[in-house]
Structure 1
Amino acid sequence: MTSLAALLVLGVATATLPACASDDPAPAFQPGPSATPEALPTGNQGATPAGRDGLGGPGASKSPKPADKVLAAGNPNGKATVPAEARAVDTSKPTRTIGTGTPASCTSAAVVKAVAAGGVITFNCGPAPVTIKMTATAKVRNANGPKVVLDGGGKVTLSGQGQRRILYMNTCDEAQGWTTSHCQNQDHPQLTVQNLTFADGNSTGDEAEGGGGGAIFVRGGRFKVVNSRFVRNRCDRTGPDLGGAAIRVLSQHDNKPVYVVSSTFGGASGQGGSCSNGGALSSIGVSWVVLNSVLSHNEAIGSGANPAKSGTPGGGSGGAIYCDGNEFTVRIAGTIIENNKANEGGGAVFFVSNNRTGTMKIENSTLRRNPSGKFETQGFPGIFFLGARNPTVTNSKLS
């Protein structure tokens, strides 16, 4: 445990280090003794299946033209440059389409089937916005890709109905198929969600891979989010290192970042996410680039921090963002993070690099009204930070 003197040097407003020590018993996320099979089949990753409409067979009708987007997400005043690899995927020629033009044709079963089949997926649910009530979690099959794109056209909400996680990808889950002998570091599948709303996801009680990820759970491959909304998602209320009411990510290929672009997490009172840690985003050893987005009204509701203080269940850090691990980076640009709160530390952002190599940059952003219940780093309101050096703040307001 870090001494009081050391903490004072770091400018932390508490005498107890509420973060993982280097020997933190957090999940190692190794696949186990049988998870390195020899000569596993990889499937035909490069082939693009024939287009299908409604998932009922080869589609005779042309894929619908992308609808005028009705989804308003992200920070419209954010001016951060979006790199090419972080932009929306072209879905004008989809691999498959969910629905045949009516809301009734857009079902949970159709979503589950399409995600398992992979490829570029769009929706044809009629002209009006539609909510698809998920009765099962849609799971990516690791051999079906390498790209898996889910594009709601700005009119589709996927709802977990407060009962289940909505979307799941895990390259080290044997049930989804192993496709390499190094599942913890492979470049596929590459999952993109865009122009979608994820509502009322709930992973409470799901302990696989340490839990978390109320709306989306990802381990391995690559992942990005573009022009999407996340509202009222949940994961377990307590626990020292689980989190991500909206999104939980464990490992990305070659430590490349998760991109979150022009997206909203919460956005209004009563719409935010709630979890032990990370009311919006959570990860271990994963880098993030958050561009032109809004994270507000999210909560970290655990108690006892990490490692859990004696007599407590642990958690309560990172009202909006919770990041733990060793070497990773976080860049926040053109983004508003406001009105989030944490019972313990980091009302906006909790960032702990155990080996003190991690860095964080905040550019052209506003962080305000993000109360930290018990501790934060002096001079950085709403942030608890342990890394290589203090966060770099450029043309931004922290209050």
Structure 2
Amino acid sequence: MSIRHLFLKYILILFSSFVLISCSDDSDNDAIVIDNPLNDPYDGIPAGNPDGSYPVPAEASLEDVSNPTTVVGDGTPESCTGEVFIDAVAGGGKIVFNCGSDPVTITLNKPAKIFNDTTPEIVIDGGGLITLSGNNETRILYMNTCDPDQIWTTDHCDNQDTPRLTVQNITFINGNSTSETAYDGGGAIWVRGGRFKVVNCRFFNNTCASTGPDVGGGAIRVFSQYNDQPVFIVNSTFGGKENYGNHGSNGGAISSIGVSWTIINSLFSHNTAIGNGGNPSQAGTPGGGSGGAIYNDGNTMTLKLLGSHIEFNQVNDFGSAIFFVSNDHSGNIVIDESVIQNNIGGSWYPSYPGISAHDDTDIIVTNSSVTE
């Protein structure tokens, strides 16, 4: 695209930003913003790494929603309220949207919470048109197999195979979990137990607690997946442009304890770990500040970064791109067909800039570039 065309597109976006239709339902405090599809405020930030072409296994692919359990909306934007969405999530099953042909932002005033006794498979598919917003006040989505308020369904809640949650074809913006105390971190999404998968999603400006040695996940925080199977993140973007990044004390984009991740054809940029003092926190500090994009802590776990790009993330302490600490030294990192570069801050692993891990952590890098 020529400089002239870029300039004209920029002027058009500035002009069209004044053309915005807004609706609100005062009865439940849910706001709806309808954006012209040509003037999507996130236009130019696609889901996923545009240079990623790594093969995606079947289990990490999109789920079939051709026969949905629940359709949110009746074809109009006004029908797609936060209350309707929250009720749909509480009912489980496969959830799709019918809010009209234009992109719609649904703003929540409380998290949508999954109940563990509804359906084994829970799929939320935005069809590429839906943005869910926490309005800088609330987390957006919550699943916890060990939370009695969400119904215990086994006597081994930390290792059960359901629910299996997939979010796909959705944008998550302005999630904020800073008011959460019992289940902190995870500005947009917090998950424990079952299985979790993200496909074709975008995460912008989500935030969690700003300090603390072991709290994080500006966008996502995950615990204890069934039989230690990985969380899949596929063709998704976290940040993608300056002023669109996610941030939290640790793991500006994602954070976990005792969880493996397989990240395929995804982009992490402009996310920030804003805590300081590390983990354990140094004397006189609140702790945190590690893992600009990714924060992994635990024992036997694997981080796979495949066909993905990590750039322009920042930390105050360690691991400007990735912080990975396997406490019993049994975890490993696999990086293939990926690029890690231009991340800002410290690290302690001598061979790979931007990665902080124990010196004996097995890090396998193939067909990739890991540089300052």
Question: What TM bracket, shorter-length normalisation?
Answer: 0.7 to 0.9
> In the alignment, residue 192 of structure 2 is paired with which amino acid?
R
Tell me the CA shift for residue 76 of structure 1. 2.7
Secondary structure of the 1:342 match is strand
Please give the alpha-carbon distance, in whole angstroms, between the structure 1 residues aligned to 2:242 and 2:75: 34
> In the alignment, residue 249 of structure 1 is paired with which amino acid?
V
Counterpart of 2:210?
237
Contact 1:359 1:387 in 2 (8 A): no
Counterpart of 1:385?
357
Counterpart of 2:230?
257
For residues 103-141 of structure 1, the C-alpha deviation after alignment (integer angstroms, 9 at most, x for no partner) is 100010011000000000000000000000111100000
- Stretch deviating more after TM superposition (244-253 or 76-85): 76-85
* Cα distance change of structure 1 residues 387 and 284 upon mapping to structure 2, 3 Å threshold: farther
Structure 1: runs of 5+ lacking an equivalent: 1-69
The match for 1:152 among 126, 142, 151 is: 126
Q: Is 1:366 matched up with 2:339? A: yes
Q: Is 1:119 matched up with 2:117? A: no
Tell me the CA shift for residue 98 of structure 1. 0.3
The match for 2:110 among 127, 136, 141 is: 136
> In the alignment, residue 346 of structure 1 is paired with which amino acid?
G
Tell me the CA shift for residue 77 of structure 1. 2.1
> In the alignment, residue 179 of structure 2 is paired with which amino acid?
G
Please give the alpha-carbon distance, in whole angstroms, between the structure 2 residues aligned to 1:171 and 1:157: 26
Count how many residue pairs are aligned between Structure 1 and Structure 2.
Answer: 329
Contact 1:357 1:388 in 2 (8 A): no
Contact 1:339 1:370 in 2 (8 A): yes
Please give the alpha-carbon distance, in whole angstroms, between the structure 1 residues aligned to 2:362 and 2:342: 20
Please give the alpha-carbon distance, in whole angstroms, between the structure 2 residues aligned to 1:76 and 1:338: 14
Counterpart of 1:187?
161
> In the alignment, residue 116 of structure 1 is paired with which amino acid?
A
> In the alignment, residue 333 of structure 2 is paired with which amino acid?
M
Structure 2: runs of 5+ lacking an equivalent: 1-42
Tell me the CA shift for residue 231 of structure 1. 0.2
> In the alignment, residue 162 of structure 1 is paired with which amino acid?
N
Contact 2:349 2:359 in 1 (8 A): no
Counterpart of 1:228?
201
Identify which of structures 1 and 2 has the higher relative contact order when contacts are C-alpha pairs closer than 8 Å and 6+ apart: 1
For residues 56-76 of structure 1, the C-alpha deviation after alignment (integer angstroms, 9 at most, x for no partner) is xxxxxxxxxxxxxx9930013
Please give the alpha-carbon distance, in whole angstroms, between the structure 1 residues aligned to 2:361 and 2:64: 39
Please give the alpha-carbon distance, in whole angstroms, between the structure 1 residues aligned to 2:348 and 2:369: 16
Q: Is 1:218 matched up with 2:191? A: yes
TM-score, L = length of structure 1: 0.81
Counterpart of 2:278?
305
Tell me the CA shift for residue 306 of structure 1. 0.1
Please give the alpha-carbon distance, in whole angstroms, between the structure 2 residues aligned to 1:76 and 1:107: 32
Contact 1:299 1:341 in 2 (8 A): yes
Counterpart of 1:45?
none
Please give the alpha-carbon distance, in whole angstroms, between the structure 2 residues aligned to 1:89 and 1:344: 38
Contact 1:358 1:387 in 2 (8 A): no
> In the alignment, residue 352 of structure 1 is paired with which amino acid?
V
Spell out structure 1 runs of 4+ moving beyond 6 A.
none
Contact 2:131 2:171 in 1 (8 A): yes
Tell me the CA shift for residue 376 of structure 1. 2.6
Counterpart of 1:5?
none
For residues 250-270 of structure 1, the C-alpha deviation after alignment (integer angstroms, 9 at most, x for no partner) is 110000000000000000000
Please give the alpha-carbon distance, in whole angstroms, between the structure 2 residues aligned to 1:165 and 1:204: 9
Q: Is 1:82 matched up with 2:56? A: yes
The match for 2:242 among 244, 269, 272 is: 269
Please give the alpha-carbon distance, in whole angstroms, between the structure 2 residues aligned to 1:169 and 1:215: 12
Contact 1:359 1:388 in 2 (8 A): no
TM-score, L = length of structure 2: 0.87
Contact 1:75 1:293 in 2 (8 A): yes
Counterpart of 1:319?
292
